[in-house]
Chain A
């Protein structure tokens, strides 16, 4: 067997990740390679691949041991659609394949691990500390070398000078958000990895710099009028220019030939789309943060005890966003904070309640300030009304606080730690820039890419439920759910006897508390308590990861973060109170992603696990395990199924009101339509695949579709497969297949099944022979069986109608299960945006009313005497609004019901037959059974 280490030395791989080679790589090659590695024909190539992937994200480990690594599939921008189609067909064309690690012999793996000890956290107790140190040293060495490498690059470049005509009077024409460099020189700057050099990132259209035609993107601006410039000095140097003049700028070319467009990416990160780069690039956010200083928005965290009006203005302020280096300009909140601190202090005295929000009117419009009051600290978040209304501002803020308390021990420690501020700046910049995206981001060069994608944040405008602390669930068929559960459970069990010769010598590093699986923005399965699930969800949402995974293909995503899941923290606190245990527990969130799938895992260190060092990074083994689980789920066809299921418009079916509606045409729920939709998703996989113009497909067409479908997924269809039969048969078929399977042997499903099989094979073959091939083929055939079974169900998704009356009248639904923290909802992509915003406004209003009702009920049971509530609002359980749109009327109804568990249902249906909401809720929930 080829030794992977010799074949792929560490740094060579590292360099590869810079992307010069990869970008040039023919996608077909890559694909072939993946296929090759998938079929397991060359174990050598597989190992080098695997180790390269490991190193890619390992180089992103921060000193605190956290990882935030995203790599995009670059070609997805070139040909978004074709790529998606390809991905769907070639489900196994995955990145560095890891599955085989599982199926290789345990002994081999252990040896491999031993050899790679320099950057692998061993699970052995002995020598753990030294290994970790070694590990960190090697990483920091890598960092150093890489920096040197970049710096050397610059030195090699050719120096040249350019004269640029500067007219200070015209500097305001770009608006006040433009940096000095943009305004004066017409150069969009970015800062190099050493944090001071100014690198040309782009040009202002019609700017002076562009006219010279000599400057290239990626060049280093060394001096202006022979004064050396860096990030800190450029503004002062430029602002000294008062009259129109020619300035002499010296640049140095980078020797990185050709690939300038990818410059920022090659600086610090692997291949990343604009969006992904935005999410990871903290430094850029810090720079752009200053451009927000004049806006009436911001975040401030104050120690109220230390705050005093007279002294230094920032007394007691632990954190403020946005802020500038120069103290001359202050943000909106740092000027006005006194008022809100006083209100926060005073209102409990006057009214007996904490303030929640304050609205003020500024020169730029209304602004809402949201309060979060802790014992001696106060967090204020200001959101302009032009971005979102008060209700939304509150939901946004609560979501932010939810994320922050998930990532930090307490809100206080979150803001108190100086080293956290860079992260917070980035975090809040992302938040506000998303709110402002039309204004701020559009001024940036690369915004086109963002606009072409479906922006998930737009959804919050159209879908009120998007902002709620509830996760959007897609209920897949039962078989698929079983498969997901099996795969997740197996990973959670972390039963590593199979991979380890000597289980008694090893102590596990982590216990897995639970995990959840996402496809795009939908949850497919969760093994987490509702409170933790909600926290993970808001973490994903706030860091833009949901948006990313929803709109782009991700090649590799690894996130490792220390977290404080509320269920576990509460349990710990409770135990401390009872002084039953005084163990130190630490929790980590591991997120891995590939394609449109994402797997989040919460790990616990404490109790029976090995003791971790402070700031220890992720353990490769666990990351790979999670990646592998994700890959397995993908292989058995879950993601393809989910994609179809989400796009199928069948569970339950909804109708789409259109301008100049002719309803007779629309509301013909046909299987044909479904198939057309399915075929399209299969081919182009575009979201808006359900073409409603093609509503009636002649029967010939159906049969044609059918045959194509069956070709694709290699399922044998009965020749006389009639439409009638298809209506009920698929579910039965699949069910019976499952039971057959379970009859044959113990009910082993999922990856376990694959592994059992390979293990069985393992014992037969002797240790070192090249048996990978056989193993894998068996494994793959097993998997493809499962896949076929699953996809078979998606062939015909029988539309389910939940409304009463002759024809389907359902337009929109959201069903919220507060106990589980999940909701199911219809897609809103096809609805007219005007209609949607109306619909959403109504739904939001109803939701507000119903949640108040719930709160009042709780208040009444607690202290009935001291009530400040409007008694008429207590007993509301249903609110309906009739909306007229395009000569048609639609009911939007929200309903609250408390038994057996508190649930809310929001329905929009066409006003033709009276509907009973409770019945509908029941039918909605039983759509899959």
Chain B
């Protein structure tokens, strides 16, 4: 299955970029032009074209700030996800070239060139869009921060806070295998999609030593650039910081060394937590194949899988996809109350979300698996079981598991 995203200027219909993922052909100019033309034609009649459905594929149009039209084509996913995707794509554009330059470009050709650096981020986003295709090894969401729960998180937090004090910065976090382990308090005040993009910008920019990137924050400061600095502490562990013009990269590297020198062992052990993403010291019911824990208030998630059950790569990704699909199709529609984001765009789904405020639990049973989701306070937990677990037992285990996670002292997230 092929996913496409097209970007055009609203006024002239000039294509800025076209990206695709999958083995299909790249969109030709004439096709893009006609898709955009329909949108423009209806606009002249004061009608906004939102989306078109085929049996399994959907096209979504969206105009941003009256200047950019994005069109996405994807299969096997929900409208809600596709809209989030388009938002993220537009944010990624801001991240690289600033909102001002998008709204009033000096020349379209220059804008086109300037947008090139965000291709890698957009390609990554396209990957997230894909569900059910065995390609990515990681499951991800557009507005949830991918986290990891290590038993060392308490210690890491202390170290991080000291480091950020040295840097004189409020926004910083530690990534283990590109999953967020701990972050400063202010970090969580950033928009979830912004957080996501910052981490993406780092991870797509490869992991060598130290990086210094100028970025615009789509929500916090779309026209004024910040410096995004990352330092690799040990293999697969990086520290991330948003800072002003000072200090320079050399200084930051020095500070990092100074700060973390004494805690290398902690870092080494915390890496071990991957790929379970959950402390090995806490044992869960053996019938659990994996779980997805979401804090939907502060928008972060942990995806954990029971390593013993993993026989091969394929079944692993299949399981991840299953949980992800379950989350998008059942949990998201049932549990979420309307956030401001969906309000304007999906008046359609607003109704349904409004309806299901009272939904507490939901489950799917497949031929070989079962999925059960539970919502409690700020948390949603989706657990994947083998199919032999009876439904009512499944409920008990899920309740128990969530209780363990939320009460266990070791766990800090």
| A, B co-complexed | yes
Show the binding face of A for B, using Cβ within 8 Å: 335-336, 338-339, 342-343, 346-347, 349-351, 353-363, 365-366, 385, 389-390, 837-838, 841-842, 845, 849, 855, 867-873, 875-885, 889, 914
| Nearest A residue (CB) for B334 | A881
| Nearest A residue (CB) for B55 | A353
| Nearest B residue (CB) for A882 | B361
Measured CA separation A881–B73 after assembly (Å) = 30
Interface residue from A841, A855, A872, A879 paired with B356 (Cβ < 8 Å): A841
CB distance from B371 to the nearest CB of A (A): 9
A841: chain B residues within 8 A (beta carbon): 352, 355-356
Contact call A881/B50, Cβ cutoff below 8 A: no
B258: chain A residues within 8 A (beta carbon): none
Interface residue from B321, B329, B360 paired with A883 (Cβ < 8 Å): B360
Interface residue from B47, B333, B365 paired with A878 (Cβ < 8 Å): B365
Contact call B329/A849, Cβ cutoff below 8 A: yes
| Nearest B residue (CB) for A852 | B56
A845: chain B residues within 8 A (beta carbon): 333-334, 352
Contact call A366/B53, Cβ cutoff below 8 A: no
Measured CA separation A914–B131 after assembly (Å) = 33
CB distance from B55 to the nearest CB of A (A): 5
Q: Does B208 make an interface contact (CB < 8 A)?
A: no
| A/B interface sample: 10 pairs, CB < 8 A | A347-B54, A350-B31, A351-B73, A353-B55, A355-B54, A365-B347, A845-B333, A871-B132, A872-B132, A881-B361
Additional pairs, 13, CB under 8 Å, beyond known A350-B73, A880-B391, A884-B358: A338-B41, A339-B49, A354-B54, A357-B52, A360-B50, A867-B1, A868-B57, A870-B75, A875-B367, A876-B366, A878-B363, A878-B364, A883-B358
Q: Knowing A336-B42, A361-B47, A914-B391 are in contact, say whether A880-B55 is a contact too (CB < 8 A).
A: no
Contact call B45/A335, Cβ cutoff below 8 A: yes
Contact call A353/B38, Cβ cutoff below 8 A: no
A354: chain B residues within 8 A (beta carbon): 54-55
B359: chain A residues within 8 A (beta carbon): 842, 881-884
Contact call B363/A877, Cβ cutoff below 8 A: no
Q: Knowing A346-B34, A355-B52, A357-B53 are in contact, say whether A875-B360 is a contact too (CB < 8 A).
A: no
Contact call B46/A362, Cβ cutoff below 8 A: yes
Q: Does B368 make an interface contact (CB < 8 A)?
A: yes
Contact call A880/B57, Cβ cutoff below 8 A: no
Q: Does B48 make an interface contact (CB < 8 A)?
A: yes
| Nearest B residue (CB) for A844 | B352
Measured CA separation A845–B332 after assembly (Å) = 12
CB distance from B289 to the nearest CB of A (A): 13
Measured CA separation A390–B363 after assembly (Å) = 24
Contact call A356/B131, Cβ cutoff below 8 A: no
A343: chain B residues within 8 A (beta carbon): 38, 52
Q: Does B410 make an interface contact (CB < 8 A)?
A: no
Contact call B54/A353, Cβ cutoff below 8 A: yes
CB distance from A329 to the nearest CB of B (A): 14
What 6 pairs across the A-B complex have the smallest Cβ distances? Answer: A870-B76, A870-B132, A882-B361, A353-B54, A914-B392, A872-B325
CB distance from A419 to the nearest CB of B (A): 33
| Nearest A residue (CB) for B56 | A868
Contact call A389/B75, Cβ cutoff below 8 A: no
B360: chain A residues within 8 A (beta carbon): 882-884, 889
CB distance from B82 to the nearest CB of A (A): 12
Measured CA separation A871–B51 after assembly (Å) = 23
Residue with the greatest number of chain B CB neighbours at <10 A, chosen from A336, A350, A355, A358: A350
Q: Knowing A838-B356, A872-B325, A873-B325 are in contact, say whether A351-B54 is a contact too (CB < 8 A).
A: yes
Measured CA separation A339–B321 after assembly (Å) = 36
Contact call B53/A879, Cβ cutoff below 8 A: no
Contact call A871/B321, Cβ cutoff below 8 A: yes
Measured CA separation A355–B390 after assembly (Å) = 40
Contact call A366/B50, Cβ cutoff below 8 A: yes
Contact call B348/A366, Cβ cutoff below 8 A: yes
CB distance from A772 to the nearest CB of B (A): 62
A356: chain B residues within 8 A (beta carbon): 53-55
Contact call A363/B54, Cβ cutoff below 8 A: no
Q: What is the interface of chain A mostly: helix, strand, loop, or mixed? A: mixed
Q: Knowing A360-B47, A385-B347, A845-B333 are in contact, say whether A869-B76 is a contact too (CB < 8 A).
A: yes
Contact call A868/B1, Cβ cutoff below 8 A: yes
CB distance from B166 to the nearest CB of A (A): 46
Residue with the greatest number of chain A CB neighbours at <10 A, chosen from B56, B325, B392: B56
CB distance from B131 to the nearest CB of A (A): 6
Measured CA separation A356–B318 after assembly (Å) = 29
Q: Mark B131-150, 1 if CB is under 8 A from A, else 0.
A: 11000000000000000000
Contact call B321/A360, Cβ cutoff below 8 A: no
| Nearest A residue (CB) for B50 | A359
| Nearest B residue (CB) for A362 | B47
Q: Does B259 make an interface contact (CB < 8 A)?
A: no
Q: Does B59 make an interface contact (CB < 8 A)?
A: yes
Measured CA separation A883–B359 after assembly (Å) = 4
Q: Does B35 make an interface contact (CB < 8 A)?
A: yes
A838: chain B residues within 8 A (beta carbon): 355-356, 358
Interface residue from B31, B324, B364 paired with A876 (Cβ < 8 Å): B364
CB distance from A916 to the nearest CB of B (A): 9
B352: chain A residues within 8 A (beta carbon): 389, 841, 845
Measured CA separation A385–B41 after assembly (Å) = 22
| Nearest B residue (CB) for A356 | B53
CB distance from B129 to the nearest CB of A (A): 12
Q: Mark B368-395, 1 if CB is under 8 A from A, else 0.
A: 1100000000000000000000111000
Measured CA separation A298–B89 after assembly (Å) = 35
Measured CA separation A849–B326 after assembly (Å) = 11
CB distance from B373 to the nearest CB of A (A): 10
Contact call A353/B50, Cβ cutoff below 8 A: no
CB distance from B43 to the nearest CB of A (A): 10
| Nearest B residue (CB) for A342 | B38
Contact call B347/A358, Cβ cutoff below 8 A: no
A365: chain B residues within 8 A (beta carbon): 347
Residue with the greatest number of chain B CB neighbours at <10 A, chosen from A336, A872, A885: A872
Interface residue from A358, A390, A870 paired with B348 (Cβ < 8 Å): A390
Q: Knowing A350-B35, A351-B57 are in contact, say whether A837-B363 is a contact too (CB < 8 A).
A: no
CB distance from B324 to the nearest CB of A (A): 8
Q: Mark B6-34, 1 if CB is under 8 A from A, else 0.
A: 00000000000000000000010001001
A884: chain B residues within 8 A (beta carbon): 358-360
Measured CA separation A55–B85 after assembly (Å) = 67
Residue with the greatest number of chain A CB neighbours at <10 A, chosen from B31, B41, B351, B391: B391
B49: chain A residues within 8 A (beta carbon): 339, 358, 360
Contact call B52/A361, Cβ cutoff below 8 A: no
Contact call B351/A389, Cβ cutoff below 8 A: yes
Measured CA separation A262–B388 after assembly (Å) = 68
A347: chain B residues within 8 A (beta carbon): 52, 54, 59
B51: chain A residues within 8 A (beta carbon): 358-359
CB distance from B374 to the nearest CB of A (A): 9
A837: chain B residues within 8 A (beta carbon): 355
Residue with the greatest number of chain B CB neighbours at <10 A, chosen from A343, A351, A880: A351
Interface residue from A350, A360, A390, A869 paired with B48 (Cβ < 8 Å): A360
Q: Knowing A363-B46, A880-B363 are in contact, say whether A875-B368 is a contact too (CB < 8 A).
A: yes
Contact call B356/A868, Cβ cutoff below 8 A: no
Contact call A870/B131, Cβ cutoff below 8 A: yes
Contact call A366/B55, Cβ cutoff below 8 A: no
A353: chain B residues within 8 A (beta carbon): 54-57
Q: Mark B327-361, 1 if CB is under 8 A from A, else 0.
A: 00110011000000000000110011001101111
Measured CA separation A389–B49 after assembly (Å) = 17
| Nearest A residue (CB) for B370 | A878
B318: chain A residues within 8 A (beta carbon): 871-872
| Nearest B residue (CB) for A868 | B75
Contact call A359/B355, Cβ cutoff below 8 A: no
Contact call A342/B34, Cβ cutoff below 8 A: yes
Interface residue from A359, A390, A869, A914 paired with B132 (Cβ < 8 Å): A869
| Nearest B residue (CB) for A879 | B364
Contact call A876/B73, Cβ cutoff below 8 A: no
Measured CA separation A329–B267 after assembly (Å) = 72
